[in-house]
Amino acid sequence: MAEAVQVANVDRSLRVLETLAGAPGGLSLRALADAAGLPKSAAHRLLHTLMLRGYVHQDKQSQDYCLSLKLALLGFRFLDARRLPDLLQGALDGLARASGEYCRIAIVEGEGLAWIARAQGARMGLRYDPPMGREVVLHATATGKAWLATLPEDEALRLVRARGLVTPEGFGANAVRSLDALATHLAHAREQGYAVAHEEGEPGIAAIARAFRTHDDPAAPAAGTVSIAGPLTRLTPARLAELVPLLVAATAELTSLWPVHRRQRSASPTPQSFA
């Protein structure tokens, strides 16, 4: 019984943190409780604990609750311990310069993907610069489809089915809305060697993405993906085709770097606890 209560409290605490992460301006206690689906009294108790631990602070004037930077610092410490950004950023910067568009790297984390690095290559005109905190929606982004296409189809569809084939608010009109349509998209991605999204992840945006591997073997598991994205006015089908060789070269470079990352990670000392 006590264990079940502890698990419930952990779940509720995470819901509070996730809700506040989507409200950089802060939320009142009532608004937070409603958004997180919690009783007001329970939300207040959790906020008190999170404030004591330094994850949340309360504005003295408005009395609204906001996240502190502690979670961000933990995230940076985690990435630094894995030595991912420094190792892979150079390859990503090169792709951004060559393509003149916004580029990102996502790595495989469990049964999903997580953004870890970005580079802006657009030097003039419209700039696409999405927030890094968004979840990678596997079925409705070039990034997600590029990774899913490396998996056996049954496994890929299982992952999407488990998450729910839901298109988040604000996604484009062409986002995949059925498993049959997704299977067709994945077949195209396997045939081409990369995935494409036209107004799927966002209206007015096109993207291509390709997976890089844990080592230089076509049968090796995917370590992550790299993508190029930008406004449809620039990224026409013809322009996307021109960018494919750059994407292929970038994934080859990232694949060559990944074993170095693995060796560095195994040799890294255990990071100290957060003070």
- 183: tokens are 């299977």
Tens digits of per-residue pLDDT, 50-92? 888 888 888 888 899 988 877 776 766 665 545 555 678 889 9
Give the DSSP H or E segment for 213: strand 205-213
Contacts of 93 (CB under 8 A, 6+ apart): 119
Q: Give the DSSP H or E segment for 102.
A: strand 102-109
Euclidean distance between the first and final Cα of the chain, in Å? 32
Q: Is the pTM of this model over 0.75?
A: no
The DSSP-derived string for 48-91 is HHHHHTTSEEE-TTT--EEE-SHHHHHHHHHHHHHTHHHHHHHH
- Please give the domain boundaries of the chain with CATH numbers for all domains: 2-68 (1.10.10.10), 81-266 (3.30.450.40)
pLDDT tens digits for 4-30?
656 777 888 888 888 888 887 889 999
d(CA 207, CA 212): 16
One-letter amino acid at 274 equals: F
pLDDT tens track of the chain, all 275 residues? 556 656 777 888 888 888 888 887 889 999 989 988 999 998 899 888 888 888 888 888 889 998 887 777 676 666 554 555 567 888 999 999 999 999 999 989 888 998 888 999 988 778 888 877 778 999 999 999 999 999 999 999 999 999 888 888 888 899 999 999 999 999 999 999 999 999 998 999 999 999 999 988 888 999 999 999 999 999 999 999 999 999 999 999 999 888 755 544 444 444 443 33
